Amino acid sequence: MGLKERVVLPLAKRWIAGVTMDSAIEDAKRANTRGIGAIVNFLGEEIKDPATADAHTEEYLRLQQSLFDAGVNGFASVKLTQLGLGADDEGMKVRLEKIASNAERLRQQLWIDMEGSAFTDVTIRTYLAAHEKHPDMGVALQAYTRRSEGDLKTILDAGGKVRLVKGAYRESRDFVFATRAEVSENFARLMGMLFERGSGFAIGTHDSSLVDRARSLAESKHAEFRFELLKGIRDDLKDDLVKSGYRVSEYLPYGDRWYAYSRRRISEHPSNIWLLLRSLV
Ligand SMILES: Cc1cc2nc3c(=O)[nH]c(=O)nc-3n(C[C@H](O)[C@H](O)[C@H](O)COP(=O)(O)OP(=O)(O)OC[C@H]3O[C@@H](n4cnc5c(N)ncnc54)[C@H](O)[C@@H]3O)c2cc1C
């Protein structure tokens, strides 16, 4: 076992279920006992080799079956570049179709995560095409991008489902709003559109002021939606939302590519750097 596995993995388990599928199923069951649904992601992105993309597809098919067999209230969320987007686009569509059909067979939903701006356009096009056949699929939209309002209108016109998040990638200022205040303002604007016209959407944030805003919209609009939060962040808020009668799901990543994901979570929040440094001494 390398230094990374010995020192950082125990800390990373705050944000990931573990390395194996079994660890994800166990975490999903634990979430269910708290009244929280599970959204499980097998970690990986930018897979260039078709054989590896096929292996990721097989992993998702097994994951969906394992969630079903374990009686878990939960489903999978995939990244299109882990299915070969950007290297083997036609193969990616075939792989996505396999996972989407399997979800349908097992009566599970399926989400598509949104990645960096190089993939936004093609992710939305792929989603809209797949959604025609699989109406229960949804896609993440990032409030930090200037284009998201237009994308949201297109998706709502097509009757699609959206998980609204702020956005997690480093992007050029041409593409994204520059300040946190602008991102939050755009999040609130897009959330207003979702409560007005959407159904089966998800509000994916740990930001208390946006969650409060969603709660007050929910009281007046009566839309069908749920809150989605990441594993290891704001457990207090998850429990509070469940107690208040809202539907809540937790995003649970797992797999051996845990390092890049954990780095993203650590760098998002300064206090996590102290957690990391403390674990090193
Ligand atoms: C269910 C779900 C799915 C997601 N899917 C995608 C996706 O497909 N594509 C994408 O680009 N992004 C995705 N994200 C990540 C998202 O874009 C943000 O990077 C992340 O949610 C942090 O933003 P925030 O809205 O919570 O607001 P922030 O302003 O970042 O955080 C609000 C508060 O939450 C707490 N908090 C937030 N992050 C951390 C952390 N890392 N450690 C400790 N506390 C923290 C703090 O109390 C903070 O003050 C997803 C997020 C969620 C919840």
Distance CA 38, CA 229 (A): 10
The minimum-distance atom of ligand 1 relative to the CA of 169 is: 11
Collapsed DSSP state (helix, strand, coil) of residue 252: strand
**Does some domain include residue 65?**
yes
**Does some domain include residue 260?**
no
Domains held by the chain: number? 1
Q: Model confidence over 131-159: pLDDT tens digits?
A: 999 999 999 999 999 999 999 999 999 99
**Does some domain include residue 117?**
yes
The minimum-distance atom of ligand 1 relative to the CA of 113 is: 8
**Does some domain include residue 279?**
no
Alpha carbon 65 to chain centroid, angstroms: 19
> Ligand 1 centre and the CA of 273: distance in Å?
16
**Averaged confidence pLDDT in the chain:** 94
* 115, 80 contact by CB (below 8 A): yes
* 184, 142 contact by CB (below 8 A): no
> Ligand 1 centre and the CA of 49: distance in Å?
30
**Does some domain include residue 219?**
yes
The minimum-distance atom of ligand 1 relative to the CA of 180 is: 29
Lowest mean pLDDT segment, chosen from 4-18, 33-47, 109-123, 203-217: 4-18
Residue 187 CB partners (closer than 8 Å, separation 6+): 143, 164, 166, 205, 207, 210
pTM of the model: 0.95
> Ligand 1 centre and the CA of 206: distance in Å?
6
Measured by CA distance, the residue closest to atom 5 of ligand 1 is 113
**Does some domain include residue 4?**
no
Q: How does 25-52 read in b/e, with b if 16+ C-beta sit within 10 Å?
A: bbbbbebbeebbbbbbbbbbbbbeeeee
Measured by CA distance, the residue closest to atom 39 of ligand 1 is 269
DSSP symbol at 121: H
What is the predicted pLDDT for the residue at 120? 97
> Ligand 1 centre and the CA of 166: distance in Å?
7
Distances (CA, A) of 34 to 21, 30, 44, 221, 245: 20, 7, 28, 27, 12
**Does some domain include residue 42?**
yes
**Does some domain include residue 167?**
yes
Distance CA 191, CA 228 (A): 14
> Ligand 1 centre and the CA of 65: distance in Å?
28
Q: Is the pLDDT reported for residue 270 higher than 80?
A: no
Average pLDDT of span 106-126:
97
| CATH, residue 28 | 3.20.20.220
Collapsed DSSP state (helix, strand, coil) of residue 243: helix
Candidates 155, 107, 105; CA nearest to 129 is: 155
Top mutation candidate among 36, 207, 226, 265 for ligand 1, by most atoms within 8 Å of CB: 207
Name beta bridge partners: 141. 164
Measured by CA distance, the residue closest to atom 37 of ligand 1 is 206
What is the predicted pLDDT for the residue at 9? 83
> Is the model more confident about 172 or about 188?
188
> Is the model more confident about 163 or about 4?
163
Quick check: CB of 206 below 6 Å from ligand 1?
Answer: yes
The parent domain of residue 26 ranges over 17-254
Q: Is the pLDDT reported for residue 278 higher than 80?
A: no
